[in-house]
Amino acid sequence: MATDGPKIIDGDTAHDTYWGIMDMYDNEISVKKIQKEFLHDIDYYDDFDYEIYLTSLALAFWEIGLMNDSLFQKVNDTILKGVGVKVWTEECNEKIGKQREQALNRLIKKISVKNEKIRKPKKYRKVINFHFQPNDLLTFKLNDGLYRAVICAKITQQRGQCTYDLVGTTYIGETKPDNQVIKDFAITGRWIPCGYDKKEIVEMQPEIDKLWKIIPNTSNKFLGLSYHLVTHKAFFEFKEKFEKVGVVKLKEPYKKEGGYGYESTFDRFEDIFGDIENHMQIFKEKSIPIKHLINTNE
């Protein structure tokens, strides 16, 4: 199933749509650009996913004062098809189907009347004194006395939360790695199927066709990295466990997200990297040689 639950904002498509709109709105992007970015009429979703997309869009548009008769009618017509309720009922159970139906009914009731309290753009405080920096190669020692390593691929600040987006590596050693040593190891990620043709994929991730040739069963797929997100607040509790030992600059087009998890304690790193192969197997992650994802002059 393409979503995690029957609520209006539940699952990837709904979250990406609703918060994509709100992020633009909070950054005071013009109404015309928001409407152009999030169109009502799109044809690349099936009926089930389109219901999820349109209802989450409608909720966001109503909250920021962009609801209109045309959008309301389209939402109403889409809900009347009953696709969402049917899928949740058949793939889950009647109770979940009923919950989806109730959520849709509440939405229609809400957006059928004018919003008298338009949501104001929110201003979020940004962190300026970071624990670590983008591209930092960080090492840490586990209970077995061996070192592991992650790369802080980027720092994300969104809606008042700052996260260090760490990418796991396969490094295990008795000594700390450095810029050169780490190139002989791999990072963890996923190969993501898509509907683009080869030319379009190569334009978005230059030279990915070279990876297709050396890594089996990856042709015509995007590469997405597996991220371990640590909030700025959480890192205060265990940042002394990590040491910067170098700088590794991954090519920006290869920093596409292939999955993520929030790690709030150092024990999580013990659990994950104590047996990284088992973790990768459980979460269907693949290893990608680091040397192919950095600029040759780095």
pLDDT recorded at residue 100? 94
pLDDT at 4 over 70: no
Contact (Cβ atoms closer than 8 angstroms) between residue 165 and residue 152: yes
Find, among 11, 8, 64, the residue nearest to 35 by Cα: 64
Rounded mean pLDDT, 172-186: 96
Find, among 139, 156, 169, the residue nearest to 232 by Cα: 156
pLDDT at 1 over 50: no
pLDDT in tens, 195-250: 888 999 999 999 999 999 999 999 999 999 999 999 999 999 999 999 999 999 99
Contact (Cβ atoms closer than 8 angstroms) between residue 147 and residue 173: yes
pLDDT recorded at residue 126? 86
Report the alpha-carbon distance of residue 50 to residue 47 in Å, rounded. 5
pLDDT recorded at residue 81? 95
Report the alpha-carbon distance of residue 53 to residue 41 in Å, rounded. 11
Compute the mean pLDDT over every residue in the chain, rounded to the nearest whole number. Answer: 93
pLDDT recorded at residue 124? 85
Q: Other C-beta atoms within 10 Å of 106: how many?
A: 12
pLDDT in tens, 22-50: 989 988 999 999 999 999 888 888 999 99
pTM of the predicted model over 0.85: no
Please report, for the chain, the start and end positions of each structural domain, with discontinuous segments joined by +.
Answer: 12-111, 136-292
Distances, alpha carbon 287 to alpha carbons 161, 225, 261, 292, in Å:
29, 10, 17, 12
